[in-house]
């Protein structure tokens, strides 16, 4: 059966990664969390005093870009790809509130995005990939066979993010998390370099009132229909 590229874009804490991971496991596709890549770069910046209070030392970052390597390694136990920064596993650290508060400033920088996009295109060049982020369908893979744009009510997204942080031992108020999400929404949609936009041919998935299983089944049906159509189209003509 043919393989396709699935691009999933959308706002923070809409469950993009959760959906993408589930799809990748069901289809035996590669999963690439592009947001994790920008978070990994942010960790590097925080550790090396390149960013403070969302202000980036641009010359220092430009000098350091060549030393930043972001990669994914498949975890056979969790059955998902996890992010590594210069060979170090940083999957847990990238989800902290400190990273969340600074990642928009890093991801808005043209040189950073150019480097990450090159890596993303290389990772997905053979298809059979589920990739989620902010500009996958609009910029990284504009010709992806399936594009999903995810959204949800802000209060619902805030509670999901708060629950995630709490489960990892971090304590934050609902309002602090809401403000962080609203700031990231603004930064993502207004940045100059490849802002978050809904691709014209993307299918909107609002998961405010549906559960994980329902959204997974919805997208699986879209993919199965696409694959059936693709294979039928590519089937050799019958000889008479």
Residue 62: CB atoms within 10 Å:
13
Distance from C-alpha of 239 to C-alpha of 25, rounded to nearest angstrom: 38
In a domain, 59, yes or no: yes
Q: What per-residue confidence (pLDDT) applies to 237?
A: 47
The pLDDT profile of the chain, 240 residues, written as one tens digit per residue, is 688 999 999 999 999 999 999 999 999 898 999 999 999 999 999 999 999 888 999 999 999 999 999 999 888 887 788 899 999 999 999 989 899 999 999 999 999 999 999 999 999 999 999 999 999 999 999 999 999 999 999 999 999 999 998 998 889 999 999 999 999 999 999 988 889 999 999 999 999 999 999 999 999 999 999 888 765 556 554 454
Q: What per-residue confidence (pLDDT) applies to 99?
A: 94
In a domain, 235, yes or no: no
In a domain, 47, yes or no: yes
Total structural domains within the chain: 1
- H/E stretch holding 230 reads helix 212-234
Q: What is the CATH number of the domain that holds 16?
A: 3.40.50.300
Q: What per-residue confidence (pLDDT) applies to 232?
A: 55
Q: In sequence order, which residues have a C-beta less than 8 Å from that of residue 104 and are 6 or more positions away?
A: 54, 183, 184, 187, 188, 191
> Which residues constitute the domain of residue 105?
5-228
79 phi-psi bin (left φ>0, alpha ψ -120 to 50, beta other): left
């Amino acid at each position: 059966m043919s393989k396709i590229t699935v691009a999933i874009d959308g706002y923070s804490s809409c469950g993009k990664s959760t959906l993408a991971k589930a799809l990748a496991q069901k289809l035996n596709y590669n999963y690439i969390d592009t947001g994790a890549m920008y978070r990994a770069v942010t960790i590097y910046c925080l550790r090396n005093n390149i960013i403070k209070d969302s202000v980036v030392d641009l010359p220092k970052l430009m000098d350091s870009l060549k030393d930043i390597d972001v990669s994914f390694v498949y975890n056979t136990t969790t059955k998902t790809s996890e992010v590594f920064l210069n060979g170090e596993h940083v999957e847990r650290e990238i989800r902290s509130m400190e990273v969340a508060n600074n990642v928009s400033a890093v991801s808005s920088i043209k040189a950073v995005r150019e480097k990450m996009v090159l890596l993303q295109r290389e990772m997905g060049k053979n298809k059979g990939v589920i990739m989620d982020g902010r500009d996958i369908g609009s910029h990284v893979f504009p010709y992806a066979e399936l594009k999903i744009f995810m959204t949800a009510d802000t209060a619902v997204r805030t509670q999901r993010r708060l629950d995630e942080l709490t489960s990892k031992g971090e304590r934050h108020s609902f309002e602090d998390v809401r403000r962080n999400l609203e700031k990231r929404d603004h930064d993502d949609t207004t940045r100059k370099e490849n802002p978050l936009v809904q691709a014209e041919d993307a299918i909107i998935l609002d998961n405010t009132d549906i559960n994980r299983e329902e959204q997974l089944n919805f997208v699986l049906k879209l993919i199965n229909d696409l694959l059936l159509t693709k294979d039928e189209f590519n089937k050799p003509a019958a000889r008479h």
